[in-house]
Chain A
Amino acid sequence: MSTTVDTDRSAPAAAEPTTRAVKRVRVETPFQRFASEFMESPIATAALVVLTVIVALALLAPFITPQNPYDLGQVDVLDARLPPGGESMTGMTFWLGTDGAGRDLFSAILYGLRISLAVGIFSGFLALVIGAAVGLIAAYAGGRIETIIMRVVDLQLSFPAVLIALMLVAVLGKGVDKIIIALVIVQWAYYARTVRGSALVERQKEYVEAARCLGLSHSRILFRHILPNCMPPLIVVATVQTASAIALEATLSFLGVGLPQTEPSLGLLIANGHEYLLSGKYWISTFPGVALLLTIMSINLVGDQLRDVLNPRLRR
């Protein structure tokens, strides 16, 4: 939608048509149009704000948290399970309470967010790169190569993601790197399928034929010409898959096979608190849970709006 036709300026435009016409085209860059369309939904805008705050809090965690939850010297077991607003012996206030080990929950949540987001984004990015490359090759090569790749994708997608991830982590062992490997293996297939779908459409288009007529190499046609045209659906899938990677990591950590106890992610914090739930100490599980919920929900809402804005068929 172009909102660039400015009536007040069209009168002098007649005097110098060429320069004015060009300037008017330049008033709204594609990014500005994209941004204004995105902002049309107040919910998505709110989600984007929440997401930005969450990411900022996670990034700045070492500077704003009252305590480093990984530094055992700062954690006192005597402060364990204090309710929200409780005070430690040293006079420190725990606004969100403490967990079973005496960690300040606010600090632990921010540090947990760092790990959850980093794992989600990094594994999502790796899976995107691998999946997109594989999907592109499948669509471009066609024939037997495509069949083999896509049957592997089908096979993988027919298993529940948690099941595959659990098996992989059981084999690989604990650790941030292992979790990322498991998540990438679970998720590349989604990207591969998405990219193949749009690449199949794109490769039929005449500009690909024209590029072949220019004598360009296969890799150049694939990555410079076809891939950029497949980006919109890829961006949408990337946001959704990043959210699901975070959820999957939390699930694995909750089940105790994810990240190590010494570096708790959100899932582990929830797991640590669930045994106290029935004894009325709700805060240990609830606050990390709320943080996880807000993160995933805001990513999904942003992703939904991206899909609407990037999909020309849904354009009004």
Chain B
Amino acid sequence: MTTAQAPDTATLTVRNLETHFFTRVGVAKAVNNVSFYVNPGEILGLVGESGSGKSVTGFSIMGLIDPPGRVVGGEILYDGQNLANLDDETMRGIRGNRIAMIFQDPMMTLNPVLRVDTQMVEAVRAHQDVSHATALELSRAALEQVGIPSPERRLKSYPHELSGGMRQRVAIAIAFINKPDLIIADEPTTALDVTIQAQILFEAQQLCRETGTAMIWITHDLAVVAALADRIAVMYAGRIVETGSTDDVIDRPVHPYTEGLLGSVPSRNVGGTRLTQIPGMTPSLLNLPEGCAFRTRCSYADSACHSEPAETKPVDGRIVRCVHPLLTEAGA
């Protein structure tokens, strides 16, 4: 099996990650043999529809999978250690310090009864041995960095006094405050309106470039990653079905699922035609079709798809799980 050949300099390398949920009705393989890597300063877009396992992948890296879920196999390599094997206490020192997370709903991720300064100072002092005054100054600088005007006044605010975009900026500032090596952003702009979304995307990208922080941007929105990410990994039913650079994946999809996803995105250049949609629904993780999980919805599927497709490199720089890749080196 060809796995992603991660460069030695990669911030994080995930190899054959398996996260399963042991429910009463069976084992849900939410993350099934997933491998990828992120380089410093790079933004990896993890794309997939609801239930494809993208958020579970993020939580697996953070070590925050709660029972009945469990990471059952694979390696999460960060800084020479396998995060999957670390004990709770060591992992707590990494969370929020070396690896931070940004969540989807900024209304929910800030504690409603604590002021912004309390929450930010707490984040600093959980990992750095600094005085309250220093932590406060760091917080102020962090708010300024994410483009919040008059940060002194915002520090004294409660979350409900801030707008949605402002709150997400605070959440991003908290994620960046300890200068982490990696940030996992779980659909952070989904709850925001488009103009704010564009600003936040731009600022997040700039911060990554400036600080050299790697970022995994989890989203279902191809338009977002197209503008933001350097590389894209497309997930379907717990597996990564296609990986490649953003331009390649968007312009020349190799996996039929990616092609289907791209076909269902409305475009402003082509008017008047019906959007193509992928027929059927995402299969239940408890009851995946044998072989390729996408085969029941795929127009290219035939009897060869009944056996599990291996990772192949039909085109240079692309890793695809499909026995019928849309492009091959010969045909391209």
Contact = CB atoms under 8 A, between A and B. Distances in A.
A215 B101 CA distance: 11
A214 B126 contact: yes
B96 A215 contact: yes
Interface residues of B, number: 28
A206 B108 contact: yes
B317 to A, nearest CB: 33
Contacts of A25: 161
A210 B103 CA distance: 8
Contacts of A211: 111
Contacts of A278: none
B179 interface: no
Contacts of B104: 206
Interface in A97-127: none
A213 B111 contact: no
A228 B126 contact: no
Nearest to B123: A214
B101 A213 contact: yes
Given A213-B64, A224-B122, A225-B114, A205 B108 contact: yes
B211 to A, nearest CB: 18
Interface in B70-121: 92-97, 100-101, 103-105, 108-114
B112 A229 contact: yes
A210 B93 contact: no
A225 to B, nearest CB: 5
A216 interface: yes
A209 interface: yes
B171 interface: yes
A215 B127 CA distance: 8
Given A207-B108, A209-B64, A225-B111, A215 B97 contact: yes
Given A213-B101, A215-B92, A207 B122 contact: no
A217 interface: yes
A228 B93 contact: no
A216 B103 contact: no
B84 to A, nearest CB: 17
Contacts, number: 64
B64 A207 contact: no
B112 A207 contact: yes
B101 A210 contact: yes
A205 B107 CA distance: 11
Nearest to B109: A210
Interface in A149-173: none
B24 interface: no
The residue in A22, A206, A210 that gathers the most chain B C-beta atoms within 10 A of its C-beta is A210
A89 B108 CA distance: 72
A158 to B, nearest CB: 31
Interface string A211-238: 1111111001000110011010000000
B103 A215 contact: no
A20 to B, nearest CB: 14
Contacts of A215: 92-97, 126-127
A220 B127 CA distance: 13
A206 B111 contact: no
Given A206-B108, A229-B112, A229-B113, 14 more contacts: A205-B108, A207-B109, A207-B110, A210-B109, A213-B95, A213-B101, A214-B96, A214-B122, A214-B174, A215-B96, A215-B126, A216-B96, A228-B111, A231-B113
19 contacts: A207-B108, A209-B64, A210-B110, A212-B64, A212-B95, A213-B62, A213-B95, A213-B96, A214-B122, A215-B92, A215-B94, A215-B95, A215-B97, A216-B96, A216-B122, A220-B126, A225-B114, A229-B111, A229-B113
Interface of A: 22, 25, 205-207, 209-217, 220, 224-225, 228-229, 231
Interface of B: 62, 64, 92-97, 100-101, 103-105, 108-114, 122-123, 126-127, 153, 161, 171, 174
